[in-house]
C-alpha cells in the first residue's frame, strides 16, 4: 500500500466567513439605505446608451436571470433621466375625428398635451349650441316671411297652371276628378256625358248596348289622350318647380344659418390654430349646412304605452364628436408604460364592435381604442418578451411597427372568421422606444432565427447574476439590507445578521469571490428572518434567525431529498460508505427541482472482459443518457487510448452503468468517476467506498471543474452521517472547484474535527492513488509503465487481454484447447 498523506482542502477554504467584527456598523440603523443599482455597471451603460440614442432600431432587450433587478434598474434609470430633465418634451394628445368624405378612413389630429379633451369639449359645445341656435333662427319672423314668399310663389304658379288647364279640359267637354290611389290622390280626366263625368269603360259598355255612338267615343278617346299628355307635362313642370323651390329654400337656409355656424366655428379655430384642425372644421361646417334639417326641432314623441319599453334613441350627432385616443394632460415628461399583459389588443389597440338593435355588428371612429404602444408614443414601453411571443399576432405587428415607425390600429380577432368592419383609421407616426425583458436564450434564439430582430433591437443590456466580492460591494449589500428594512418595515439587522446574509449571497453566487445579484432571493431571506425574529421575541435580527430561515426554507422544499435519504438508509438504494470494492465507486449527482437543489451519491459500476466491443455505455444503449454524458464516455475512451494504446491495440469489452438510475443521466461530471471504476475493474484493484468522487476529465487525464460542488459534498456527508461517520469518509473534488466551496457549517465542523475529508484532485493519477492506496505509476525511460502500480497493472492486463483475443482467434489445436479450458473453468470477466 502507498504510504502517503494526501492533500486536503484547508479548513479556511471550505467556507468563506464574513466576520461581523470587521463590519463598520453594529446594526442596519447606522447604515444609509441603498439608492443605487448594485453590481450591474455593464447593463446600466447599455441601457443609458439605448435611451440616449434616438435612431431607428435602438430599442433595448434586457437579458439576465429573474430577480437580478432588471425591471427595477430600468425604472430607476428612467426616473433618473426625469430628475435630470433630459427625458424630452411631453408628447401630443392624439384624437380621431370623422372623415365626412370617407367615413371608413377617420382622420388623425395631433394636439399639444392637454388640448385633446379641450378640443373634444369644444366640439360637444358647438353641436349643443347649434342644436339650440338653428331652430331659433328657423323660427325668426324675417326668415319665415322669406320662406313663405318663396313657397307662395311656387303655389301660385302651380295653381295658375292647373286653373288654365282645367278651363281647357272643361271647354273640351271633360272634367278633372281627383282619383284616390292608396294614401295619395291625383287628378284624372273624364269625359262629361249629360253633365256628369263618365269613365271610358262605361262609354264602351254603352257603345256595345247601342246607347252611345262609336264614332263619338273614338273622338273622345283622342281628345282624352291629348289632355292626359298635357297633364303629364304640367306634372313635369311642377316637379321642376319643386326642385327649384327646394334649391331656393336651401339657399335661403344657408344664407340665414351660415353666419351663425361660421361664427361658432371661428371661435374654435382661434383656439386651435392647427392646419388639420382648420381643415376638419371646414368640413364640419360644410356637413352641417348640408344637413340643416337634422338641427330643426323635432316633434315631441308621445310617451310609450304603460309596460312598453321604447328603444333608446341613438345620438344622431356623434359624427361631430372627437375621439381622444391618448390624453397626456396628466403626463409629466415622456410617458413610461409598463404592459403586464402584452396581447395584440393591449399593445396595438383595437376597433371595438357594437351591436345595433337590428342585431348587426357595427363600428365607427368613436370605437377606436389606443394600445400601450401608442400611449407610450414619445416615451417608453416595457413588457416581458415571453408573454408577448405567446400572444398571437403580437411579434409580427411589433416588428412592422418598429421598422416603419407607424402604427395602424386594426381589429385582431383570430377566432372571428369574418371581417365586421372596413374601418381603416389613418396611420399614426409613432416614436416609442421599446424595452423588452427576457431570458438570454430567447435573445439568442430570436437573434439567430429572425433577421429583423437584430435591426430593431440593437441594444442588449445583459444583467449579471453575480458581482465581485470586495469591501465596496459588501457595504452596498448592507445598504440594500437597510433599504428593504425601511421599505418593508422590518426589524433592524445586527452585524451578525448582516454577515450571515452576506454569506448567503456568496453561497447562492456559487463562488467565494462573488456575491449574488439576485436580490429578490436576498429580500425574501430578510423578510423571513424578520418573521423568525418576531417569533423569538427579538428586537433585532441576528445570525441565529438568518440561519434558522435558511434551515426552515430548505425543510419546506426538501421532501424528495428526505425520501431518497430514507431509501438509502433502509437499503432500497444501494450505497456503501465503507470498505473497498473492485470496479465500483460512488459518484455524485445533483438534483435540481427548480426551487431546491441537492446532491446524492450514485453507485457506478464497471465490468470488463475479453472482446472488441470497447466501452459500452449502458445508459446510452437504454436511451437514458444525455449528449453531455455520452461525450464524457467518449472522452474516457480517448484517455484510455492515449494512456495505454501507444504500443498495442485495446481489445476488451467494458460496460459502465449508473446503478438504480431510472430517470436518465446527463452531464460529464462523472467522467472521472467512471475512469476510476474502469481502471479498478481492469487492474482488479479495489476502490474505497468511503470516498465519493466528482469531476469531469479531459483526454489528458486532467480533472476539470463541475457545478453544484457544495450540494454534492453535502449530499454524501448526509449519507455518511446517517450511516455513521468513521473519520475516513470524504469527497474528491476538482482542485479548480476549491474557490467555489461555501459548505454548510456542520460539514465544515466535521472536517475540522477530522470526521470528514475533502481532497482537491488535479489528475486521474492523483485520484486513483487516493481511492486504491496504490501508486499510480509513471512511464519509465524505456517506455514501460512501472510494475505493481495502478497504471502498470492496467497496462499488463490490457496486453494480456489482447494476447488472449489473438490466441482465441488464431484457431488450431492451441485455440481449441484454450476455448475448452475456458468453458470448464471460470469466466475470464473481471470485477
- Provide the CA 684 distance to its chain's centre, in angstroms: 58
Task: Assess whether 458 and 471 both reside in one domain.
Answer: no
Query: What nine digits make up the cell of 568?
Result: 438509502
- Of 240-244, 379-383, 705-709, minimum mean pLDDT range: 240-244
Of 739, 756, 779, which one is at a domain's C-terminal end? 779
- Provide the CA 731 distance to its chain's centre, in angstroms: 44
Task: Assess whether 536 and 577 both reside in one domain.
Answer: no
326 backbone φψ class: left, alpha, beta (φ>0; ψ -120 to 50): beta
149 part of a folded domain: yes
Task: Assess whether 469 and 458 both reside in one domain.
Answer: no
Helix (H) or strand (E) holding 175, with range, is: strand 174-181
* Predicted TM-score (pTM) of this structure: 0.79
650 part of a folded domain: yes
Give the model confidence (pLDDT) of 195-229 as tens digits.
788 787 777 777 777 777 778 878 887 887 888 88
Task: Assess whether 634 and 489 both reside in one domain.
Answer: no
Task: Assess whether 408 and 475 both reside in one domain.
Answer: no
Task: Assess whether 680 and 630 both reside in one domain.
Answer: yes
7 part of a folded domain: no
Of 529, 557, 585, which one is at a domain's C-terminal end? 557
567 part of a folded domain: no
With beta carbons less than 8 A apart as the criterion, state whether 391 and 344 touch. yes
CA triple 710-566-607, angle to 5 deg = 75
Task: Assess whether 458 and 343 both reside in one domain.
Answer: yes
Distance CA 625, CA 623 (A): 6
Task: Assess whether 620 and 729 both reside in one domain.
Answer: yes
Does the pLDDT of residue 193 top 90, yes or no?
no
Question: Among 512, 499, 549, which Cα is nearest to 529's?
Answer: 549
Task: Assess whether 770 and 683 both reside in one domain.
Answer: yes
Does the pLDDT of residue 811 top 60, yes or no?
no
Of 417, 446, 463, which one is at a domain's C-terminal end? 463
Give the model confidence (pLDDT) of 82-123 as tens digits.
666 544 578 999 999 999 999 999 999 999 999 999 999 999
For residue 309, what pLDDT is reported?
47
For residue 4, what pLDDT is reported?
81
For residue 222, what pLDDT is reported?
84
Question: Among 708, 673, 718, which Cα is nearest to 693's?
Answer: 673
Q: Return the half-sphere exposure (C-beta side, CA atoms, 13 A cut-off) of residue 785.
A: 22
Distance CA 600, CA 717 (A): 9
Distance CA 750, CA 310 (A): 88
Residue 189, classed as helix, strand or coil, is: strand
Query: What nine digits make up the cell of 645?
Result: 494504446
587 part of a folded domain: yes
Give the model confidence (pLDDT) of 627-649 as tens digits.
888 888 889 899 999 889 888 88
The parent domain of residue 218 ranges over 141-272+285-290
Query: What nine digits make up the cell of 213?
Result: 255612338
Task: Assess whether 756 and 623 both reside in one domain.
Answer: yes
End-to-end CA distance of the chain: 20
Which residues, in sequence order, are bridge partners of residue 588? 601
Does the pLDDT of residue 660 top 90, yes or no?
no
Average model confidence (pLDDT) across the chain: 87
Q: Confidence class of residue 142 from pLDDT cuts 50, 70 and 90?
A: confident
Mean pLDDT of 389-407: 94
- Out of 129-133, 477-481, 801-805, 820-824, the most confident range is 477-481
Which residues, in sequence order, are bridge partners of residue 590? 599
For residue 220, what pLDDT is reported?
80
Does the pLDDT of residue 301 top 70, yes or no?
no
For residue 297, what pLDDT is reported?
61
CATH number of the CATH domain containing 404: 3.40.50.300
* Residues 426-435 as b or e (16 or more Cβ within 10 Å = b): eebebebbbb
210 part of a folded domain: yes
For residue 815, what pLDDT is reported?
47
801 part of a folded domain: no
Distance CA 691, CA 284 (A): 91
Query: What nine digits make up the cell of 185?
Result: 290622390
Q: How many domains does the chain divide into?
A: 4
Amino acid at each position: 500500500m502507498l504510504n502517503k498523506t494526501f492533500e486536503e482542502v484547508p479548513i479556511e477554504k471550505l467556507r468563506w466567513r464574513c466576520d461581523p467584527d470587521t463590519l463598520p456598523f453594529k446594526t442596519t440603523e447606522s447604515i444609509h439605505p441603498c439608492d443605487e443599482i448594485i453590481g450591474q455597471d455593464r447593463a446600466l451603460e447599455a441601457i443609458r446608451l439605448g435611451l440616449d440614442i434616438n435612431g431607428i432600431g435602438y430599442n433595448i432587450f434586457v437579458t439576465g436571470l429573474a430577480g437580478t433587478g432588471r425591471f427595477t434598474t430600468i425604472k430607476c434609470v428612467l426616473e433618473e433621466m426625469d430628475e435630470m430633465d433630459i427625458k424630452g418634451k411631453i408628447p401630443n394628445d392624439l384624437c380621431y375625428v370623422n372623415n365626412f368624405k370617407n367615413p371608413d378612413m377617420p382622420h388623425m389630429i395631433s394636439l399639444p398635451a392637454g388640448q385633446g379633451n379641450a378640443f373634444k369639449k369644444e366640439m360637444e359645445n358647438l353641436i349643443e349650441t347649434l342644436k339650440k341656435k338653428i331652430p331659433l333662427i328657423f323660427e325668426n319672423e324675417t326668415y319665415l316671411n322669406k320662406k313663405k314668399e318663396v313657397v307662395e310663389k311656387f303655389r301660385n304658379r302651380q295653381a295658375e297652371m292647373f286653373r288654365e288647364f282645367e278651363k281647357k279640359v272643361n271647354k273640351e267637354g271633360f272634367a278633372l276628378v281627383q282619383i284616390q290611389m292608396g294614401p295619395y290622390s291625383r287628378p284624372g280626366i273624364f269625359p262629361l256625358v249629360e253633365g256628369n263625368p263618365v269613365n271610358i269603360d262605361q262609354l264602351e259598355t254603352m257603345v256595345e248596348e247601342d246607347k252611345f255612338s262609336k264614332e263619338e267615343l273614338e273622338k273622345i278617346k283622342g281628345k282624352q289622350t291629348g289632355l292626359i299628355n298635357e297633364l303629364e307635362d304640367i306634372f313635369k313642370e311642377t316637379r321642376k318647380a319643386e326642385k327649384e323651390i327646394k334649391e331656393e329654400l336651401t339657399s335661403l337656409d344657408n344664407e340665414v344659418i351660415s353666419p351663425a355656424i361660421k361664427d361658432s366655428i371661428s371661435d374654435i379655430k382661434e383656439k386651435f390654430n392647427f392646419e388639420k384642425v382648420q381643415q376638419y372644421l371646414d368640413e364640419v361646417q360644410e356637413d352641417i349646412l348640408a344637413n340643416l334639417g337634422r338641427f330643426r326641432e323635432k316633434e315631441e314623441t308621445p310617451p310609450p304605452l304603460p309596460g312598453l319599453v321604447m328603444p333608446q334613441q341613438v345620438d344622431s350627432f356623434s359624427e361631430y364628436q372627437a375621439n381622444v385616443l391618448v390624453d397626456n394632460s396628466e403626463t409629466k415628461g415622456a410617458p413610461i408604460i409598463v404592459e403586464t399583459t402584452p396581447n395584440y389588443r393591449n399593445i396595438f389597440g383595437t376597433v371595438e364592435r357594437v351591436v345595433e338593435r337590428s342585431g348587426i355588428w357595427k363600428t365607427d371612429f368613436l370605437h377606436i381604442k389606443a394600445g400601450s404602444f401608442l400611449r407610450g408614443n414619445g416615451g417608453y414601453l416595457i413588457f416581458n418578451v415571453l408573454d408577448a411571443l405567446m400572444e398571437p399576432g403580437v411579434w409580427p405587428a411589433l416588428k412592422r411597427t418598429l421598422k416603419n415607425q407607424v402604427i395602424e390600429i386594426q381589429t385582431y380577432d383570430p377566432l372571428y372568421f369574418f371581417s365586421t368592419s372596413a374601418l381603416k383609421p389613418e396611420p399614426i407616426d409613432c416614436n416609442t422606444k421599446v424595452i423588452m425583458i427576457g431570458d438570454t436564450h430567447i435573445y439568442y434564439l430570436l437573434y439567430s432565427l429572425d433577421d429583423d430582430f437584430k435591426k430593431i433591437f440593437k441594444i442588449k443590456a445583459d444583467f449579471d447574476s453575480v458581482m465581485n466580492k470586495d469591501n465596496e460591494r459588501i457595504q452596498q449589500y448592507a445598504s440594500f439590507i437597510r433599504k428593504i428594512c425601511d421599505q418593508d418595515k422590518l426589524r433592524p439587522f445586527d452585524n451578525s445578521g448582516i454577515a450571515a446574509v452576506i454569506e448567503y449571497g456568496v453561497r447562492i453566487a456559487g463562488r467565494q469571490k462573488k456575491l449574488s445579484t439576485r436580490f429578490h432571493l436576498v429580500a425574501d431571506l430578510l423578510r423571513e428572518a424578520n418573521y423568525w425574529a418576531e417569533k423569538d421575541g427579538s428586537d433585532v435580527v441576528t445570525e441565529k434567525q438568518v440561519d434558522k430561515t435558511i434551515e426552515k426554507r430548505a425543510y419546506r422544499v426538501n421532501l424528495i431529498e428526505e425520501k431518497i435519504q430514507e431509501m438509502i438508509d433502509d437499503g432500497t438504494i444501494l450505497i456503501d460508505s465503507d470498505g473497498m470494492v473492485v470496479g465500483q465507486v460512488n459518484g455524485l449527482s445533483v438534483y435540481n427541482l427548480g426551487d431546491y437543489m441537492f446532491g446524492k451519491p450514485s453507485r457506478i459500476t464497471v465490468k470488463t472482459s475479453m472482446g472488441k466491443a470497447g466501452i459500452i455505455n449502458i445508459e446510452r444503449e437504454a436511451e437514458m443518457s444525455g449528449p453531455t454524458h455520452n461525450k464524457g464516455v467518449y472522452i474516457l475512451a480517448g484517455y484510455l487510448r492515449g494512456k495505454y494504446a501507444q504500443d498495442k491495440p485495446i481489445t476488451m469489452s467494458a460496460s459502465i452503468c449508473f446503478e438504480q438510475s431510472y430517470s436518465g443521466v446527463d452531464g460529464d461530471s462523472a467522467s472521472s468517476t467512471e475512469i476510476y471504476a474502469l481502471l479498478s475493474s481492469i487492474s482488479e484493484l479495489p476502490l474505497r467506498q468511503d470516498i465519493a468522487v466528482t469531476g469531469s476529465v479531459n483526454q489528458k487525464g486532467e480533472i476539470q471543474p463541475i457545478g453544484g460542488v457544495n450540494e454534492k459534498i453535502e449530499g454524501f456527508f448526509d449519507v455518511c452521517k446517517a450511516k455513521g461517520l468513521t473519520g475516513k469518509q470524504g469527497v474528491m473534488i476538482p482542485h479548480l472547484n476549491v474557490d467555489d466551496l461555501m459548505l454548510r457549517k456542520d460539514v465544515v465542523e466535521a472536517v475540522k474535527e477530522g470526521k470528514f475529508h475533502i481532497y482537491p484532485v488535479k489528475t486521474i493519477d492523483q485520484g486513483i492513488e487516493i481511492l486504491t492506496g496504490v501508486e499510480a505509476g509513471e512511464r519509465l525511460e524505456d517506455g514501460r509503465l512501472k510494475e505493481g502500480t495502478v497504471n502498470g497493472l492496467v497496462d499488463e492486463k490490457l496486453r494480456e487481454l489482447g494476447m488472449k483475443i489473438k490466441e482465441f482467434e488464431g484457431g488450431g489445436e492451441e485455440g481449441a484447447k484454450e476455448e475448452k479450458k475456458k468453458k470448464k473453468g471460470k469466466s475470464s470477466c473481471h470485477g
